[in-house]
Structure 1
Amino acid sequence: MRFILFLPLLIFVGFIVGILGSLFGIGGGFLVAPILTFIFDYFGIPDGVKFAVGTSLLVVFINSIVSIFRHAKIKNINWKASIIIGVISLVFSYISGFLVVNFIDSAMLKKLFGIFLISNAIYMAKSHHIDKISDREDNLAHFIFCGVVAGFLSGLFGIGGGIVIIPILTFAKYPVKRSVAISVGVIPLTSIGGLISYLTANTNSYIYNIGYVSIPIALIMAIPIIYSSKLGIKINQKISSKHLRIMLSAILGTMGLIMLL
């Protein structure tokens, strides 16, 4: 019965994640994973953070498919770059997901996630130069590096990788909106690699789960994503790169502090 109290929160978070997925080209795992960690810890589920990360990856995967559909309608995806980064990240997200499931302590994972989010927030807040970038040519080395880092962190923290890809590409002087367009196509591949590791983990049955993935909770959060992703696309087409950067930085910093505290 206590779980029913969290239903409005899950639906609300799903709604916000749908907007963020289309707006920023991210899966929303940086928001889903901390909130699910709190809920699973509240219910006293062993390895709550691992359940949160695994369930988050399924939500991220669903959100990324919806975001691709929305962006493809306006021909706003760089498929060549997305596939290169995505295939590499799939392999590394599976590897890091396997490490989390079998070797990494949950408490340590929580702190690492908080530090990672805050570091990203600080970088995005200070990167004023990226607002003035118009465009640049594709660079294979940048895409390979993105794939390795995004994939490894995706499986580790239950994120889609967009929250890593966008800062890396903007640091390499890709415009923010172009970075978003690349990120949108990468996330399904990145998230599925780590998701496989969590689905195949040997766990007890706590929350109608398969491995470290709670299927009902993921589906509850995914339903509002279908509707809210439309709003994210509309905002993306109207907002400036500067405001995109500032909003993303604020959200990252807030969730990072929550994970640490």
Structure 2
Amino acid sequence: MDFIVYIILLIIGGCFGGGMAGLLGVGGGLIFTPIQYYLLLASGVEQSIALPMAFATSLAVIFVTMIRGSYEHWHNGFVVMDYLPLLMILGFIGAITGAFISTHIDVGFLQFLFGLMCIVVVINMILIKYPDNDDNISKSRIKHALLGLVAGLLCGLLGVGGGIIMIPVLTILLKYPTHKAIGTSSASIIATSLGGLIAYIIIGWNVVGLPEFSLGYVNMVQFIVLTLISTIVVGYAAKLSKNVNDSILKVFHILVVLYIGLKMLGVL
């Protein structure tokens, strides 16, 4: 593949991923991962290496991107701090665990289950009214801990930040208003992505056949380009989300989750 085309496609991916991260509080891995995966395959990297490398590099980009996005959401007052440490600690542990499990399980099966879960989430998002204030936010530490752990496991297993499941759960089950679910998800993803990233670097450290400029399973060329672009875009997108109506964000989020679910199930 021509190097210029390679970089252009990375830039486009960085714009889409950063936009999703800022507007919806998801890490953008579901954009970053497939783009990197197919670019690596087109560059001659073996499939067995390309997939975990796409996962790992996505998490590296997500980690940096969500620091910027979370700051904007915190500045806007949309990060609920009460249970954030619990979400982050359990998310970090779950992500490390998920990354190591991913080397011993069929990722295709996991993607299928993830797709089904996305469809169930979409149905609930359509049928259930989102809360519009803080009055009923769940005070259950167990529910927050379980959410952090599950989101972290998904992060490590599939190279996503975890927000794609965290936001619906925060809104539907834990009664977070949409904007605060997005902001809190963004902050917790910093921990889940870091945990998965560390694990993938360790797992890939002595793997034979990695392309040049690799740190474990992290491809530094893709990391630098995607990080530069997505970090710029995520800040603007997070600022924009402050002025977007909750209903519009909900519809947009439903469409994104539905597309991801159908893609994971092989329908699209």
Establish whether TM, by shorter chain, passes 0.5. Answer: yes
Identity %: 28
Is the contact made by 1:200 and 1:210 (CA closer than 8 Å) also made in structure 2? no
Instruction: Report how far residue 144 of structure 1 moved.
Output: 1.0
Tell me the secondary structure at the aligned position of residue 129 of structure 1. coil
Give the counterpart letter for 1:242 in structure 2.
S
For residues 60-90 of structure 1, the C-alpha deviation after alignment (integer angstroms, 9 at most, x for no partner) is 1011111122223333322232211010110
Indicate the residue corresponding to 2:55 in structure 1.
53
Q: Is residue 85 of structure 2 the alignment partner of residue 80 of structure 1?
A: no
Q: Does 1:183 align with 2:185?
A: yes
- 3-state SS in 1 of match to 2:167: helix
- Provide the rounded CA distance (Å) in 2 between the counterparts of 1:3 and 1:118: 37
With normalisation by structure 1, the TM-score equals 0.89
Query: Which one of 214, 233, 237 corresponds to residue 238 of structure 2?
Result: 233
How many residue pairs match? The answer is: 258
Is residue 2:255 matched to residue 1:253? no
Aligned Cα root-mean-square deviation (Å): 2.2
Q: Which runs of 5+ in 1 are unaligned?
A: none
Deviations 1:190-236 (A, max 9, x none): 11111111111232222421222112101101111232123212321
1: distance between equivalents of 2:256 and 2:185?
A: 18
**Residue in 2 that maps onto 1:213:** 218
TM-score by length of 2: 0.86
Question: Where does 1:76-225 land on structure 2 (aligned, <5 Å)?
Answer: 76-100=78-102, 102-124=103-125, 126-130=126-130, 132-135=131-134, 136-137=136-137, 138-172=139-173, 173-201=175-203, 202-204=206-208, 205-225=210-230
Corresponding residue for residue 40 of structure 1: 40
Q: Quick check: 1:90–1:193 contact (8 Å CA) kept in 2? A: yes
Name the CA distance, whole Å, in 2 between partners of 1:211 and 1:116: 30
Q: Which runs of 5+ in 2 are unaligned?
A: none
* Residue 232 to residue 158, structure 1, CA distance change in 2 (3 Å): same
Amino acid corresponding to residue 60 of structure 1 in structure 2? I
Shift of 1:22: 2.0
| Aligned residues of 1:53 and 1:158 also touching (Cα < 8 A) | yes
Residues 118 and 36 (structure 1 numbering): CA distance in 2 closer, same or farther, change over 3 Å? farther
Aligned equivalents of 2:44 and 2:122: distance in 1?
30
Partner secondary structure for residue 79 of structure 1: coil
Q: Does 1:244 align with 2:249?
A: yes
When you count helix as a share of all residues, which structure comes out higher? 1
CA gap 1:70/1:103 in 2 versus in 1, 3 angstroms:
same
CA distance in 1, matches of 2:106, 2:7: 28
Per-residue deviation, 1:127: 3.9
